[in-house]
């Protein structure tokens, strides 16, 4: 198994970062032709998924998440901790912290318009870690 970590400085507020090239690089450095790559972000206010990383899809994803877990809704987390980011915890839980991507011929198996993304839901800028494990 091969594991790498990358750091991504985010703006928070639903910022989306394409980490596909970092995934490709980790697979190449792993020297694995066929297997599985796992992309994970530690923390309770960010998530990992795939999307067509273009402005329209990004805006659509952000709008859908706002409908599912509105920023201005009442969250018990905010009542308890007062940090105002209850929505970010719910959004991260809905999206999930990781995905697995099959690897064939030394490359991730992704659709033509599909990229792997990190989404930071927190209400402030953060330094995020992304862990890529290739087996």
Question: What pLDDT digit, counting tens, does each position of 50-102 carry?
Answer: 999 999 999 999 999 999 999 999 999 999 999 999 999 999 999 999 999 99
CA atoms within 13 A on the CB side of 9: 0
* Domain ranges (residues) in the chain: 2-134
Q: What is the pLDDT of residue 12?
A: 86
Q: Is residue 134 very low, low, confident or very high in pLDDT (cuts 50, 70, 90)?
A: very high
Q: What is the mean pLDDT of residues 6-29?
A: 95
Tell me the β-bridge partners of 18.
Answer: 117
Rounded to a whole number of angstroms, the distance between the first and last alpha carbons of the chain is: 5
128, 118 contact by CB (below 8 A)? yes
Distance CA 32, CA 130 (A): 20
Evaluate if residue 119 carries a pLDDT over 90. Answer: yes
How far is 83 from 86, CA to CA, in rounded Å?
A: 8
For the chain, give the mean pLDDT: 96
- pTM for the structure as a whole: 0.94
Domain 2-134 has CATH 2.60.120.460: yes
């Amino acid at each position: 198994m091969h594991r790498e970590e990358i750091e991504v400085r985010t703006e928070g507020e639903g910022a989306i970062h394409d980490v596909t090239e970092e995934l490709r690089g980790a697979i190449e450095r792993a020297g694995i032709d066929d297997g599985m790559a796992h992309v994970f972000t530690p923390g309770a206010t960010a998530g990992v998924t795939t999307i067509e990383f273009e402005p329209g899809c990004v805006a659509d994803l952000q709008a859908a998440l706002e409908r599912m877990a509105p920023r201005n809704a009442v969250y018990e987390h905010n009542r308890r901790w007062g940090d105002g980011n209850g929505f970010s915890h719910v959004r991260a839980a809905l999206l999930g912290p990781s995905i697995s991507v099959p690897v064939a011929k030394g490359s991730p198996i992704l659709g033509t318009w599909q990229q792997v993304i990190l989404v930071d839901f927190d209400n402030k800028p953060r330094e995020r870690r992304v862990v890529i494990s290739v087996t």
